[in-house]
Chains A and B, each alone.
With several copies, the nearest count.
Chain A
Amino acid sequence: MTITEEEKSIIEEFSIYEDWMDKYAYLIELGNELPDIDDKHKISENLIRGCQSRVWLTADYHDGKIFFEGDSDAIIVKGLVALMLRVLSGHTPQEIIDTDLSFIDEIGLKQHLSPTRSNGLMAMVKQMKLYAVAYRKLAEEGRIS
């Protein structure tokens, strides 16, 4: 699936929830389903420390695509991390750079991504984009593949 298709399918999944609590219950489910990141990756260089919750993020590159793993100590944040991974992981650097992740707005969870909501999510998205920029550069220079 392309990023846009993945976003569409998420929007569709969320569209059945009319009640906020159901929406969040689903996020919690997503959070619970996302495997915990390996403890050896829970190191400070992978940590994005918000005032409210912590997020861990790792990135790997092969076959022209970036594969992210992520985690959080707050389960709702972890659910949102799961959505981000689902949308962005396994795509090319350029695709990741180009997307604006507007689906978060459409499913009504934009607040969590605001720069002032210090849960680490916004910083995680920034970090994902930075990884993409870095890998694109390395790939262009032929230093990775």
Chain B
Amino acid sequence: MFNIEAIRKDFPVLDLQVYGKPLVYLDNAATTQRPNQVSALIADLYQSGSGNIHRGAHFLADRCTMLFEQTRDTVKEFINAESREEIIFTKGTTESINLVAFSFGERFINPGDEIILSEMEHHSNIVPWQLMCNRKGAVLKKLPFDENGVLEIDLLESLITEKTKIISVAHVSNVLGTVNPVKEIIRIAHRHQVKVLVDGAQAIQHLPVDVQDLDCDFYAFSGHKIYGPTGVGVLYGKKILLDEIPPYQGGGEMIDSVSFNGTTFNVLPYKFEAGTPNIIGVIGLGEAIRYVSSLGLENIGEHEHQLLGYLTQELKKFGGIKIYGEAPNKASVVAFRHEKVHPYDMGMLLDKLGVAVRTGRHCTDPLHERFGIDGTVRASLAVYNNIEDIDLFIKAMNRVVSMF
């Protein structure tokens, strides 16, 4: 049913040799590789010509417009949005969150208002809110997590006041791997008329997402983390909210008519898509989503969970390892430190043995602060990883540790 060898064939990069060693790519939380289907489509579009979209009225423009707008439907179905107008194309998760922080902030945030973030958020889900809070005189509050990397959800209700306007939280932590109980968070928030943005950058590629079931107000993710191109992302927003908040960027596409005396804006989703979008990037994202859907996110999740279990077990057997993040509900990311080897040294040496991991603070300073550490090694898995990757990784770890 789930033929890992066939899947690996879709990713020619897995045959790469680096420094004379076969590549073991375990940096998937930073960016995933692309299957042939995606690269071929992109290459074809660049080669066979493309037009600018929407306003064009000729063959190439029509073709691109059609493929572009079809992708909106693809995304809509993928996350089960209610309507295609709720799907905004951005350049990535970071921009999606900045858009909401700005436009929601302009409309709804007044001095003294409060925004709640979890302590495990990625900088991309902290700094946009800080910038907005500084402008608006609003305040950030943090929802902590426990030793295992589980959000202290019991505290949420006590953090919410009548000044609280929005909660922004990762669906899956990019370091701890924790799958946060976003549905419950949203239920609690909505009881207090508080909106919720879910940062899905590390969830969308690992588990089925149904925005209507979650009932989230906004959901953000990036193309390059779900086997798609760079420079493209998605913002889902409830129509009623997107209608109410002002536009973010101004320019072509997002207007109805412009004069020096005043401008009227286009309808959704175009109101939030100023300028020529990443046309070929968006179309490539559509292909990546079709690829993922054809495998089935349940199947992908199951495969990755098996690997995660094996990886965790092998790391524990290894000795001298402390894993950060041991939530019961976890996606395929493992961050750890070895008692004797600094993360940077570990990363450098693993690289020379062909193993790509990521080291450092992974854009989560507050999380690392919480644990009192200045960095971790992070191994993160994708659909194309297999048991052998993990064995090679552990073997390489042995070699590295023996040097100290």
Chains A and B directly touch (beta carbon < 8 Å): yes
Known: A75-B404, A116-B53. A52 touches B353 (CB 8 A): no
Question: Which of B24-32, B148-156, B220-228, B344-352 lies at the interface with chain A?
Answer: B344-352
Q: Given the known inter-chain contacts A51-B360, A52-B57, please indicate yes or no for A116 contacting B349, CB distance below 8 A.
A: no
Chain A residue with Cβ nearest B399: A21
A51 and B55 alpha carbons, distance in the complex (Å): 8
Q: Which residue of B lies closest to A23 (CB)?
A: B352
CB atoms of A21 and B352 under 8 A apart: yes
Interface centre among B66, B257, B344, B404 (most CB of A within 10 A): B344
Contact flag A53-B342 (CB < 8 Å), given A20-B19, A20-B352, A116-B69:
yes
Q: Is the CB of B342 within 8 A of A116?
A: no
Whole-angstrom CA separation of A25 from B55 in the bound complex: 23
**Cβ-defined partner of A24 (8 Å) among B57, B62, B352, B361:** B352
Measured between C-beta atoms, what is the minimum distance from B257 to chain A in Å? Answer: 8
Q: How far is the CB of A83 from chain B (nearest CB, A)?
A: 15
In the complex, are the beta carbons of B349 and A75 less than 8 A apart?
no
Residue of A nearest to B349 (CB): A24
Closest to B69 in A: A116
Range of interface residues on B (Cβ < 8 Å): 20 to 34
A28 contacts the other chain (CB 8 A): yes
User: Do B65 and A76 touch (CB < 8 A)?
Assistant: no
For residue A99, CB closer than 8 A to chain B, the reply is no
B contact face: mostly helix, strand, loop, or mixed: mixed
Complex interface: chain B residues within 8 A of A54 (CB): 374
Interfacial chain B residues near A119, Cβ < 8 Å: 344
The answer to whether A76 touches B348 (Cβ under 8 A) is: yes
Asked whether any CB of chain A lies closer than 8 Å to the CB of B240, the reply is: no
Contact of A116 among B65, B360, B361, B374 (CB under 8 A): B65
Within 8 A of B (CB), among A84-127: 111, 114-119
Q: How far is the CA of A76 from the CA of B346 in the complex (A)?
A: 9
Contact with A along B347-366 (1 / 0, CB 8 A): 11100110000011100000
A33 within 8 A of B: no
Given A51-B360, A52-B359, A116-B65: A73 in contact with B342 (beta carbons within 8 A): yes
A48 at the interface (CB under 8 A from B): no
Residue of A nearest to B19 (CB): A20
B375 contacts partner chain A, Cβ-Cβ < 8 Å: yes
In the complex, B370 has a CB within 8 A of chain A? no
Q: B1 at interface (Cβ–Cβ under 8 A)? A: no
Q: Does B54 contact A (CB under 8 A)?
A: yes
Question: Is A37 positioned at the interface, with any CB of B under 8 Å from its CB?
Answer: no
A75 to B343, CA, bound (A): 10
Bound-state CA distance A53–B57 (Å) is 12
Question: Quick check: is B403 within 8 A (CB to CB) of the other chain?
Answer: yes
Q: Which of B214-236 contact A (CB under 8 A)?
A: none
**Whole-angstrom distance between the Cβ of B238 and the nearest chain A Cβ:** 20
Q: State the CA gap A49–B374 with chains docked (Å).
A: 10
Q: In chain B, what residue has the closest Cβ to A120?
A: B344
In the assembled complex, which residues on chain B have CB atoms less than 8 Å from the CB atom of A77?
Answer: 344-345
Scan residues 354-392 of chain B and give those whose CB is less than 8 A from a CB of chain A: 359-361, 374-375
Smallest CB–CB gap between A56 and chain B, Å? Answer: 14
Give bound CA distance, A20 to B342, whole Å. 19
Cα A143 to Cα B257 with chains together (Å): 37
B19 / chain A contacts, CB cutoff of 8 Å: 20
With CB as the reference atom, state the residue of chain B lying closest to A31: B345
Within the complex, the shortest CB–CB distance from B357 to chain A, in Å, comes to 12
Q: Which A residues between 10 and 27 are near B, CB-CB below 8 angstroms?
A: 20-21, 24-25
Instruction: Give which listed residue, B359, B399, B403, contacts A28 with CB less than 8 A.
Output: B403
CA distance A52 to B344 in the complex (A): 6
Question: Which of chain B's residues have a CB closer than 8 A to the CB of A51?
Answer: 55, 360-361, 375
Q: Name 5 interchain pairs, CB-CB below 8 A, sorted by A.
A: A52-B55, A52-B347, A53-B375, A74-B345, A116-B65
